[in-house]
Amino acid sequence: MNARPLANTAADILDRVRERAPRVHCITNTAAQVLTANLLLAVGAVPSLTISADEVTAFVSGADALLVNLGTFDAARRQAALIALDEADESRIPWVLDPVFCDRSAARAAFARDLAAREPEVVRANRAEVAALTGQDVEDVESAAFDRFALDNLTVLAMTGPTDIVTDGTKRTAIANGHPLMARATAVGCAGTALIAACLAVEDDPFVAACAGLLALGVAGEIAAAGARGPGTLVPRLIDAVYLLDRHTLATRAKVAGPLDVKP
Amino acid sequence: MNARPLANTAADILDRVRERAPRVHCITNTAAQVLTANLLLAVGAVPSLTISADEVTAFVSGADALLVNLGTFDAARRQAALIALDEADESRIPWVLDPVFCDRSAARAAFARDLAAREPEVVRANRAEVAALTGQDVEDVESAAFDRFALDNLTVLAMTGPTDIVTDGTKRTAIANGHPLMARATAVGCAGTALIAACLAVEDDPFVAACAGLLALGVAGEIAAAGARGPGTLVPRLIDAVYLLDRHTLATRAKVAGPLDVKP
Amino acid sequence: MNARPLANTAADILDRVRERAPRVHCITNTAAQVLTANLLLAVGAVPSLTISADEVTAFVSGADALLVNLGTFDAARRQAALIALDEADESRIPWVLDPVFCDRSAARAAFARDLAAREPEVVRANRAEVAALTGQDVEDVESAAFDRFALDNLTVLAMTGPTDIVTDGTKRTAIANGHPLMARATAVGCAGTALIAACLAVEDDPFVAACAGLLALGVAGEIAAAGARGPGTLVPRLIDAVYLLDRHTLATRAKVAGPLDVKP
């Protein structure tokens, strides 16, 4: 997959999201809820956010994909996540894990590892969070550890950073889109994970869905940053850019390498 | 009431909101809190949002109107809603019910029906939510059911959709303002219900207050959409448009039919 | 300190924030979380927001400053605040108290007074909130009471209003920057208190840190208001203005009087 094929595949996936309006249930942190809902609505999906134990099963059972984000790590959300995962297992609903800030608290890292072992279709994490998940120091974590993490957990790891790396343990794609200003607005990464969930709702191959979601976010972020004076005006422009994203823009802007085989 | 008289009445009501700065207490969902507070501040009201059981009575007792939105259906908000309604009954504070997503969960629908039976001045709901409230299938619900719901619950039903319908069971007004982009940003409908609450705070006739609130939201939404590239830039522009809304704009843009008598 | 020296000092402090990227842990209300995080990211700090009892100690212990805002007064946040303050005491982490709406509920005022007695580096409050903290009627509260409050609690009081007053009980500075539109957008004041926390993270003198934070917010608010049509477009512009704030702008726009000695 070089830039052009992934861009085309991503455009196909976005078309399917817009046609099918999949439901995406999001158990996510309090600072990310609004932007997450807005990015999902912008891309054409239908978000729901409840964490009420009485209702999570009903909402997940009617959803086409599930997002579990650990950015607010309270008892209610932990319980909601476990209820949601039972229903996702039962109803075979694809899900993505975002272990936000699991490098900052041992309790969160332990819970994140337990969830990762439940075979999410995709785990989205930055380098520090992957280090915490794999029990390594962030300075020492080697790139082979990313592939092993994906293999060990039967998942796709979407590791975000200046260049995003997507690996399933046997192959890797690198995506160099995005803009530094995106890291200066809260919850942009979290909401990007929701785009991966929207892609998972209409695409059976989680590796491809993860690549498509990250590419969409990165390209939209570049477009938004080009017109923004700072992180404040970036956010509404990012939502607009996701709403307006088209095949030509994806093809023109995609900076993609791979997938390349991982050397054992 | 044709377009011109309602527009004038709505402008009178907005003038009173700006003069009196009524307090509106909002028990609302986590994704709607910020936009709700911002639309209320923009229109000239003073929002409060606490759901703490220790404080709800004090806040409601000092408020001029109450909003109860079920979009986050957790135990704390359910308890807060019941405490708030006791105080609203006691102190005769007008209130509006927004049974968000009650069509997606049986527990929520049952709670919403219980609250609707407590005679809110206004219930704001979309077609699917009204169907759930009346125990009908959304495909089968007939428009006579809307009028009956209002009569049975001694309330005004403000049913939002491409054309909004306001009925008290004996008369109906239709408002055709608004823009499709408004449905692509989270909580715009919820925040619109808060505008109805602000109108209720300064207007004794709940039918008129409901019409004024929906007209204000619809006209502001059209103005915002005209300058927006997508749902991201729509939202700040919507808040500005509510802040700037004037009599002339309302009169020029209002698309209103009725009130017409409901045929028994 | 006249306008020029404070502007220069504030610029020095902002430079240090951008260089050091201090961590600021925020226990804040649900309506303020996103804007607070975004203003902190814009100024160059790293926000965290958890209120989970399992994690607060770890997050505070790794933070360079702490914000405690009482705008959402639920049991979880009260507990989190007490845990956080124990750790802040232990690890000598500077903190700022924002007793939002403590004039609207007796329970909140009592809790706010208890926290104020724990010697926050800074208390940020409006006139009505200071009246509630000092047990006076807002109409009767005299300006000498502000100074006494600061002295009695060994704190700096940053009292916001059309003109902000900063006092430690022995000296006072007045800052006349800002714009009325800032009061029409929710949580701008709360997020401004977070700027004070960011300044405290890199500046040992809490009087100077409080002045710098309020000046930065006021000047950024003026710049944002100049380009905004209303409170909706004000907010993203405010975030941009904080992000772009420079020494020259601060020096040109600062409207500062003092510090003057408080007459006993």
Q: In tens digits, what is the pLDDT along chain C, a chain of 264 residues?
A: 556 799 999 999 999 999 999 999 999 999 999 999 999 999 999 999 999 888 899 999 999 999 999 988 888 899 999 999 999 999 999 999 999 999 988 889 999 999 999 999 999 999 999 999 988 888 777 778 889 999 988 899 999 999 999 999 999 999 999 999 999 999 999 999 999 999 999 999 999 999 999 999 999 999 999 989 999 999 999 999 999 999 999 999 999 998 888 876
Cross-strand partners of A257: A174
Looking up tokens 């306008």 gives C3
Residue C256 in tokens: 């500062």
Give me the total of CB pairs closer than 8 Å, taking one residue from chain A and one from chain C: 85
Cross-strand partners of C24: C47, C65
Amino acid at C28: T
Is pLDDT of B262 > 90?
no
Is pLDDT of A154 > 80?
yes
Min Cα–Cα distance to chain B from C186, Å: 6
Amino acid at A37: A
Is the link from the previous residue into B99 a cis peptide, with omega within 30 of 0?
no
Answer whether 0.80 is exceeded by the pTM.
yes
ipTM of the complex: 0.94
Contacts of B7 (CB under 8 A, 6+ apart): B215, B247, B250, B251, B253, B254, B256
Other beta carbons within 10 angstroms of residue C180's beta carbon come to 10
Q: So what CATH class is B3-261?
A: alpha beta
What average pLDDT score do residues A63-67 get? 98
Looking up tokens 């989680």 gives A206
What average pLDDT score do residues B46-57 get? 92
Q: Is A257 exposed, middle or buried (0-12, 13-18, 19+ CB in 10 A)?
A: middle
Domain boundaries, chain A: 3-261
B178-236 confidence digits (pLDDT tens): 999 999 999 999 999 999 999 999 999 999 999 999 999 999 999 999 989 999 999 99
Write down the pLDDT at residue B62.
Answer: 94
Write down the pLDDT at residue C3.
Answer: 63
Best to test chain C binding among A77, A101, A184 (most C CBs inside 10 Å)? A184
d(C-alpha B47, C-alpha B52), whole Å: 15
Report CA C178 to chain centroid distance, whole Å: 14
Measured between CA atoms, the residue of chain C closest to residue B54 is C107
Three-state secondary structure of chain C: CCHHHHHHHHHHHHHHHHHHCCEEEEECCCCCHHHHHHHHHHHCCEEECCCCCCCHHHHHHCCCEEEEECCCCCHHHHHHHHHHHHHHHHHCCCEEEECCCCCCCHHHHHHHHHHHCCCCCEEEEEHHHHHHHCCCCCCCCCHHHHHHHHHHCCCEEEEECCCEEEECCCEEEEECCCCHHHHHCCCHHHHHHHHHHHHHCCCCCHHHHHHHHHHHHHHHHHHHHHHCCCHHHHHHHHHHHHHHCCHHHHHHHCCEEEEEECCC
Q: Which of C50, C52, C239 lies closest to A231 in CB terms? A: C239
Band of pLDDT at residue B264, cut at 50, 70 and 90: low
Is pLDDT of A38 > 80?
yes
3-class SS at B123? strand
B140-179 confidence digits (pLDDT tens): 777 788 899 999 888 999 999 999 999 999 999 999 999 9
Band of pLDDT at residue B3, cut at 50, 70 and 90: low
Write down the pLDDT at residue C183.
Answer: 95
d(C-alpha C164, C-alpha C213), whole Å: 11
Those residues of chain A whose CB sits closer than 8 Å to some CB in chain C are 29-31, 34-35, 72-75, 101, 104-108, 183-187, 228-233, 235-236
Min Cα–Cα distance to chain A from B238, Å: 12
* Residues of chain B neighbouring C236 (CB-CB closer than 8 A): 236
Query: Taking CB atoms and an 8 Å limit, are B186 and A238 in contact across chains?
Result: no
Q: Which of B75, B187, B231 lies closest to A42 in CB terms? A: B231
A188-245 confidence digits (pLDDT tens): 999 999 999 999 999 999 999 999 999 999 999 999 999 899 999 999 999 999 999 9
Measured between CA atoms, the residue of chain B closest to residue C75 is B52
Write down the pLDDT at residue B140.
Answer: 75
- What chains are in contact with B, requiring at least 3 Cβ pairs below 8 Å? A, C
* Residues of chain B neighbouring A244 (CB-CB closer than 8 A): 229-230
What is the average pLDDT score of chain A? 94
Min Cα–Cα distance to chain B from C229, Å: 6
Query: Taking CB atoms and an 8 Å limit, are A232 and C238 in contact across chains?
Result: yes
3-class SS at B188? helix
Binding-site residue set of C: 124, 160, 187
Write down the pLDDT at residue C2.
Answer: 59
Cross-strand partners of B166: B158, B173
Min Cα–Cα distance to chain A from B74, Å: 5
Band of pLDDT at residue B60, cut at 50, 70 and 90: very high
The answer to which of B121-125, B137-141, C75-79 has the lowest mean pLDDT is B137-141
Contacts of C70 (CB under 8 A, 6+ apart): C29, C77, C81, C97, C98, C99, C100, C101, C102, C108, C111, C112, C115
Query: Left (φ > 0), alpha (ψ -120 to 50) or beta: where does C29 sit?
Result: beta
